[in-house]
Structure formats: structure tokens, C-alpha cells
């Protein structure tokens, strides 16, 4: 039997969770991300906001220009992650393999569990019903013979949609007269290149496969196969260690050139990275620093070290990397770890071999106590709350204003 794959995609996930938890938001254009007076972008928005032209990744100022009557909120990632865990627990019950794409999206291989196409479609309907009944949320589902077709199917009738694509022939018939952007991996630049060469639709791709391959090389080969309904990729179980990096970054509401403040913010970001890594039992073998200057130019610095997961190590290395960055106003700063592994290889320290050696340099808790004195905030007592997205931004903004006095 060929593959049977279900693609599940939540409808405006963050916004839907907020509407579920606050019914007063229902029917209103809800924009989640930065606030209108802040720097930043839209993380997601409700369908009511999309009707005004607002979309994910849009600059928040442009979103406000299009929809000044909207409700603007910071995201609550801890809440969304908790809801996501419950969602995936439901979905995974029905799959022999589940590939997590995001908090709100997954591919499910139900070939063995279902046995037949009819059973697979029934599983998809059960998933929709349980998602609504147990979490009060809607999802859109596609059932298909391949990953690409399943993804396409789930987008057909959003929101709260359901669609089936049983065969490659059905897939080709559905998309032949659509723009090439419908093909997986074809983005704006690739589409523009194809359009300039007279290849606008999927049918054009099929009829001009040689030209597509000439223009795009290996990507052109892939696009041509998809245009003919060919996609043999398997659902791959996501493993946290397959991630390339774990990082956290923050955009300042006004540019910052105070090195002490930047180092203090790196401490908070490093603690956040440590917590994210600990949740999935991973360590890094390198530390990264990302900086975006006021002119929007970005630089990244990195360094390989024996092991990087504890916040103190991440912070010290990030601060050292910051010292290599030119002194000028900074708009965004981020810290992270890469070369992830689940094997811990702590570097041998002096106190490991000489019990009477002086203690190592001050740890994270000592550094937090210094922040307490510097800013008049109780970082230790409020550490759990600080790493919620909105609280972290408010905390850093308070620190920035306090330093200016």
C-alpha cells in the first residue's frame, strides 16, 4: 500500500488560543507580536485582521496603518507551548510516525494504523473533532498520498478545513493552472525568475521541465517532480537533537550602545537558552552572538567550546564575543548554542583536581544579585516569570530606561 499522510495545521494558532481564553476578543481583528508603539513584527493574527491585509512577519507599524482598530498583544509562548503539547499528544495517538513542523503543525504517517484510505479519512475527522472538543480550537487537515499533497490539501479550505488528495493525478489536476508559488519550496525570488522566463503556472513547469532545470539546477529538478505529483519523502520523526541551534534574541525599543546593559541583557538571554536546552536534554559545543545595528546590518560571532548549556558558560562566551563587535548603537541582540548533542562533555576545571583551589569565577546567581542592585529589581524571585515573552521585553525595557537615568 502507498503512503497515507495526514497534515494537521492549526488555524491562526496563537490568536485562536487567546480568543478561546478571552471570548471578548471573538470577531475582532487580533494582532499578536509587538505593540504598535514598539519595534517588531506580527507573529500571527486572526482571520479578521487578515481581511485588512495584515499578515505574519509584517512590520508592526505597517500592520497598525492597515488596521488601527485592531487589538494588539504580546505573545505568551509558554501558554502556546503547553497547548501545543496537548495537541501533539492527541495527534500522535493515530500515527506510526509524526513529524513536528511547528508548535501548531505536523505530518502524520497513518499508513499502517489506518490500513485503508477510508480509515485514514476517518482518523482525520476524529483528530478534528478531538482538537475542537478537548482544546476548544479548530484545525485544518489534509489527507493525501504524499507530504506535499497533504500540505496542499490542508490549505484548501482554511479555516477549519478538510480536503483529500488520493492520487498524483488528483494533485496535478488540482494545481495545474495555479501559480508556481503553490509548489513547495518555490518562494518569491524563485517565482519571479520563472515568471521572467514565461513559466507562470504549474502546467508551464510540466511543459517546460528542461528550461526549469536549466534555470534552477537541482531545485528545478525537484520542482518538476512536484509539478508531476512525485514526492516520495517519508514522515521523519522529529528529534530535538536534529535542531541546528537553540537561541533567544530581543529587539530594543530604542538603540542601545551601553556595553554594561548589553552584557546584562545577554545574561537573561543566556538563562533562557539554558532552560530551552534543558527541556530537551541538549548541550551545545559552540556559542553564538547575533547583533543587529541601528542601520539594520547584522553580524554573527561564534566560538567552539567543549560544552555549552549552563547559562554561566553561555553568558561568559557571549560577552567575550560582544567585545569583538564594533561600539555603535545596537537594535537587536541574541545569544545561542549550536552543534547540539545530548552528550555532556564538561571542561575540566582547576577545582576538579585541586580541592583547595580558589572558587571559580562568580556564577549566574551572583550575577543576578548584581542586577538586583543595579536596577532595583528582584531578578532571583521573579526568574520564572521573566522568561515569558511579554515580561522579558518589559523587564529589558525597564532596564534600558533605568540605565538612562
**Active-site residues: which are they?**
105
| Distance in angstroms (rounded) separating the CA atoms of residues 405 and 401 | 7
29, 13, 33: which is closest to 389 by C-alpha? Answer: 33
Full 3-state SS string of 65-83: HHCCCCEEECCCHHHHHHH
CA distances from 108 to 98, 101, 118, 144, 148 (A): 5, 11, 16, 11, 13
Cell of 98: 509524526
Backbone angles phi, psi at 137, to 5 degrees: -130, 160
User: Cβ distance 347 to 305 under 8 Å?
Assistant: yes
| Distance in angstroms (rounded) separating the CA atoms of residues 389 and 78 | 8
Count the Cβ atoms, other than its own, within 10 Å of residue 386.
16
Amino acid at each position: 500500500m502507498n503512503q497515507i499522510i495526514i497534515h494537521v495545521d492549526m488555524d491562526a494558532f496563537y490568536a485562536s488560543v487567546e480568543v478561546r481564553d478571552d471570548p471578548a476578543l471573538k470577531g475582532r481583528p487580533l494582532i499578536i507580536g509587538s505593540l504598535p508603539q514598539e519595534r517588531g513584527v506580527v507573529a500571527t493574527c486572526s482571520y479578521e485582521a487578515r481581511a485588512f491585509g495584515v499578515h505574519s512577519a509584517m512590520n508592526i507599524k505597517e500592520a497598525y496603518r492597515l488596521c488601527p482598530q485592531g487589538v494588539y498583544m504580546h505573545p505568551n509562548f509558554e501558554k502556546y507551548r503547553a497547548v501545543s503539547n496537548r495537541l501533539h499528544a492527541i495527534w500522535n495517538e493515530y500515527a506510526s510516525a509524526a513529524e513536528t513542523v511547528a508548535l501548531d503543525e505536523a505530518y502524520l504517517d497513518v499508513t499502517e494504523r489506518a490500513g485503508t484510505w477510508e480509515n485514514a479519512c476517518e482518523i482525520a475527522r476524529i483528530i478534528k473533532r478531538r482538537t475542537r472538543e478537548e482544546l476548544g480550537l479548530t484545525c485544518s487537515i489534509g489527507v493525501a498520498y504524499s507530504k506535499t499533497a497533504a500540505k496542499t490539501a490542508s490549505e484548501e479550505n482554511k479555516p477549519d478545513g478538510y480536503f483529500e488528495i488520493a492520487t498524483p493525478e488528483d494533485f496535478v489536476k488540482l494545481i495545474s493552472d495555479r501559480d508556481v508559488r503553490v509548489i513547495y519550496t518555490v518562494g518569491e525570488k524563485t517565482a519571479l525568475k520563472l515568471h521572467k522566463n514565461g513559466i507562470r503556472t504549474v502546467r508551464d513547469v510540466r511543459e517546460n521541465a528542461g528550461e526549469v532545470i536549466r534555470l534552477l539546477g537541482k531545485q528545478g529538478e525537484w520542482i518538476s517532480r512536484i509539478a508531476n505529483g512525485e514526492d516520495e519523502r517519508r514522515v521523519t520523526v522529529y528529534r530535538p537533537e536534529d535542531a541546528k541551534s537553540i537561541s533567544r534574541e530581543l529587539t530594543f525599543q530604542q538603540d542601545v550602545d551601553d556595553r554594561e546593559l548589553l552584557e546584562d541583557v545577554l545574561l537573561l538571554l543566556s538563562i533562557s537558552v539554558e532552560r530551552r536546552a534543558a527541556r530537551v536534554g541538549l548541550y551545545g559545543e559552540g556559542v553564538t552572538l547575533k547583533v543587529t545595528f541601528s542601520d539594520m546590518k547584522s553580524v554573527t560571532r561564534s566560538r567552539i567550546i567543549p560544552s555549552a548549556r549552563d547559562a554561566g558558560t553561555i553568558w561568559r562566551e557571549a560577552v567575550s564575543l560582544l567585545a569583538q563587535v564594533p561600539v555603535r548603537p545596537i537594535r537587536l541582540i541574541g545569544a545561542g548554542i549550536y552543534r547540539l548533542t545530548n552528550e555532556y562533555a564538561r571542561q575540566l576545571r582547576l577545582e576538579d583536581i585541586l580541592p583547595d583551589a580558589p572558587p571559580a569565577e562568580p556564577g549566574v546567581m551572583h550575577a543576578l544579585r548584581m542586577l538586583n542592585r543595579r536596577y532595583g529589581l528582584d531578578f532571583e524571585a521573579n526568574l520564572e516569570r521573566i522568561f515569558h515573552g511579554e515580561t522579558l521585553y518589559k523587564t529589558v525595557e525597564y532596564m534600558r530606561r533605568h540605565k538612562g537615568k
